[in-house]
Amino acid sequence: MNAMTPLPQLRSLVTGTPPHRMTQAQIQAAAGQFFPRLASRSSLQGVFGNARIEERALSRPLDWFRQPHSFAEKNAAFVEEARALTGRLAAQAIREAGLTPADIDAVVLVNTTGISTPSLDAWLIGELGLSPQAARLPLWGLGCAGGAAGLARAADLVRAGHRAVLYVAVELCSLTFVPQDETPSNWVGLALFADGAAAAVITAPDLVAAPPRLALHGARSTLIPDSGDIMGWDVVDGGLKVRFSRSIPALVQQLMAGNVADTLAAAGWTRDDLRFWAVHPGGAKVLDAYAEVLDLTPDDLWASWEVLRRHGNMSSVTVLFVLERLLASGVRGRGLLSAMGPGFSAEQVLIEAL
């Protein structure tokens, strides 16, 4: 972790979802129609209710998922919807940062739920009129940890000399649905995952722009050895098949206390310095595990619980929704942004709300 000064500054952060909002009850009813045998298993009957999600956004209406779709069709839908979302949000983030597209000299783009080559950042450069010389850093495969990792890499680009970095994350988890997958992992995924995107602008501190909302102090990445089977995709004919093979809440309990302590110590911070927590809500059990191992109260995690309730788990994007809610509430002072994801990995970012 590098705590160099002057500090990169976040000038804007905006979020958005696709137009099709569904209640958890609607999605559960559809899931029961897709997989009646899974719905009848007593061990799985409480999954939707225990998720503590009320509604979520999907890229397509429920009737679309009732029809068979090839991997190619799903991915085409991903590219179409991802472009619509990221184009709108990125343009808004640049405006709210008090900049023009010509001011952006680097683009970081995070996603894990669809494939595009050229990557989506190339399309954004042309669509928004960014400089064709803008540096491009597409990050694929980080899953739920990607929101934190992408923010850290955007800050690293500013430290390396870039003046204004556009950071975009987009995940359309619903489009990875595989109707042939009658596994408990798929059932859990149906109960948790949703679609969304976020865009932000991170700049050098002396750039003439909108007032800064956040300073980025440093970050720490941790990869657990021999843990690739814990979470990820298995690529099958029907698309990207979700994989969970171990208890992620248990890993939070095993890893997070020491990881957070090491992150703070490397920066010369202590727990007493932290005024807020931006934690990726991977699920209700994950948040409960964070609370237990880090001795956090419901008030400490209110934004994570609210985003989970209203939006579900949008993979990498979710922690950026949490951060947006915290900034909108007027938090000030030092905080920690935390997420875990495939690898299996943990990402911690030290931040300061201004």
Please indicate whether residue 144 is annotated as part of the active site.
Answer: yes
Distance of CA 131 to CAs 24, 154, 189, 253, 344, Å?
42, 17, 39, 45, 36
- At 305, the amino acid letter reads W
Between the two ends of the chain, the Cα-to-Cα distance in Å is 21
The count of other CB atoms within 10 Å of the CB of residue 66 is: 11
- Which of these is catalytic: 47, 108, 144, 303? 144
Q: Reply yes or no: is the peptide bond before residue 344 cis, omega within 30 of 0.
A: yes
Q: Are 342 and 142 in contact (CB under 8 A)?
A: yes
Give catalytic residue positions.
144
